[in-house]
Amino acid sequence: MSAPLDHVMMRVEDLDESLSWYKTHLDYEEKSRWEADTFTNVFLGPTDVHDEGALLELTYNHDGRTYEMGDAWGHIAVRVADVYDAYDELIDGGVEEYRDPDSCGGSYAFVTDPDGHEIEIVERDYGARWSLDHTMIRVEDADEAIGWFTRKLEYEHTGRWESDTFANYFMKPVDAADEGMAVELTYNYDGRSYEMGEAWGHLAVEAADLQEFWDTLVERGAAEYRDPESCDMRYAFTTDQDGHELEIVTSD
């Protein structure tokens, strides 16, 4: 079972402003878009994104709604060669200061996009500049969350960081390329719970055969949220143990 991460979706309140921000500051280009009667989806990424690299999906609903950020989703992270140079470049380009490298121990930094989605800047010696390194989600039970990604998707640990008050676990498909996106599971030791909000949408994984992949997920106890038939056999949705939505898309 192969389930490389295809994209992460976030909702935006002003599509033109968001597209301008990502194209200007992260040098993203539009890869594709889908115009529906009530919403627009735009997929973005670096020009030289890796074949296994994930894209960013911006969803704009035409009714002008606003969104609560919630705290069940944390951030996306993008790759750069030097976090100080990259952060200074963003600030010089007009991005608001948020968490500079010095405040993060010198190894990473954070900015926010026009809607307040957090973007971590991490140093990597692989992958296109600004390509998606990981998406962080917060979980209420680390053992259950790790078990979900291991059992349902056959993911494995690619890294972990244990702190005094929290732990981060990075999960990826077995034999995934370095340039592929990972999922970062963040577990806070204080037993807090989280609000999902609406500003973040879903993670998406690729499947060679949508129905076969869905049937395997159901056999392994995944939530039957939106099955392929209800989505015109184009995609499907399940949810993880905490309610984060996971889309299954075909790889062709």
- Name the residues annotated as catalytic: 120
- Residue from 78, 121, 124, 79 nearest 101 by CA: 121
Cβ atoms within 10 Å, residue 195: 11
Asked if residue 134 lies in contact with residue 181, where contact means CB atoms within 8 angstroms, the answer is: yes
State how far the Cα of 251 lies from the Cα of 205, in Å rounded to an integer: 9
State how far the Cα of 192 lies from the Cα of 208, in Å rounded to an integer: 37
CA dihedral for 216, 186, 50, 238, sign (positive or negative): positive
- Residue from 131, 118, 123, 116 nearest 51 by CA: 131
